[in-house]
Amino acid sequence: MSAPTVGVLALQGDTREHLAALREAGAEAVTVRRLVELERVDALVIPGGESTTMSHLLRELDLLEPLRARLADGMPAYGSCAGMILLASEIADAGVPGREALPLGGIDMTVRRNAFGRQVDSFEDDIDFNGLDGSIHAVFIRAPWVERVGADVEVLARAAGHPVAVRQGRMLATAFHPEVTGDRRVHRLFVESLR
């Protein structure tokens, strides 16, 4: 089988790092900034960044509703940090009305933005991750956490007692940034789910 084509939403955030991680994990990785690019991919990665800015750009570029529709139709997606926030069905503390983070509804969960604190509260930790051999070194940067998961959502990892990695079908989300560590196991887990 040929390598799946995985897009990285390239509006803001860790685009280059995710492209490199996906290629190392065996995917054909491309950037997605326009509708025609979104229509060509088998799956999508939504990187870290700033969830309200990414929501604004999705609206401005007329990608918000097409992306919601692709996710509703079953397109697999992986979101890290801000990507986790956007993949949620509900966002606690979404921001100022008119400039708030907008949920895409990919995973039945409620996510709280910046739950671990501000930039100065960012941290790294080794955490257990179901489905991976051994622990994973997790980098949390102004990270969210999951406050509620639906019945079909599997919690894969926790930090400080809160879910920080979840999966629902072929949707995956992490509150941390595996793309910055050189450990490609999370990206491989996602790419393997596409085969």
Q: Is 122 annotated as a binding residue?
A: no
The strand pair at 107-112 and 28-32 is best described as: unpaired
CB neighbour list of residue 161: distance below 8 Å, 6 or more residues apart: none
Give the torsion sign (CA, 51, 36, 191, 150). Answer: positive
Q: What is the pLDDT of residue 166?
A: 98
Strand-pair category, 28-32 with 123-128: unpaired
- Tell me if residue 81 is catalytic: yes
Active site residue 187: no
pLDDT attached to residue 195: 86
Residue 97 has which token pair?
């009305």
Cβ-contact 147, 92 below 8 angstroms: yes
Residue 80 known to bind ligand: no
Predicted confidence at residue 1, as pLDDT, reads 62
Q: How far, rounded to the nearest angstrom, does the alpha carbon of residue 13 sit from its chain's CA centroid? A: 11
Q: What is the pLDDT of residue 14?
A: 87
* Candidate list 18, 56, 177, 187, residue with the active-site label: 177
- Can you tell me which residue has the tokens 């992490």? 174
33 is in an annotated binding site: no
Alpha-carbon distances, residue 75 vs 37, 55, 120, 160, 176 (angstroms): 14, 19, 35, 31, 22
Domain ranges of the chain: 5-193
Ordered DSSP codes for 86-153? HHEEEEET--STTS------SEEEEEETTTT-SGGG-EEEEEE-TTSSSEEEEEESS--EEEEE-TTP
Q: Which of 60, 81, 162, 192 is catalytic?
A: 81
> What token pair was written down for 143?
């990270």
At residue 170, the pLDDT reads 95
Out of 17, 18, 56, 179, the active site residue is: 179
Architecture of the domain defined by 5-193: 3-Layer(aba) Sandwich (3.40)
pLDDT of residue 26: 97
- Write down the pLDDT at residue 59: 95
**Residue 49, annotated ligand binder?**
yes
Question: Which DSSP state fits 42?
Answer: S
Query: Which residues, given as ranges, of the chain have pLDDT below 50?
Result: none
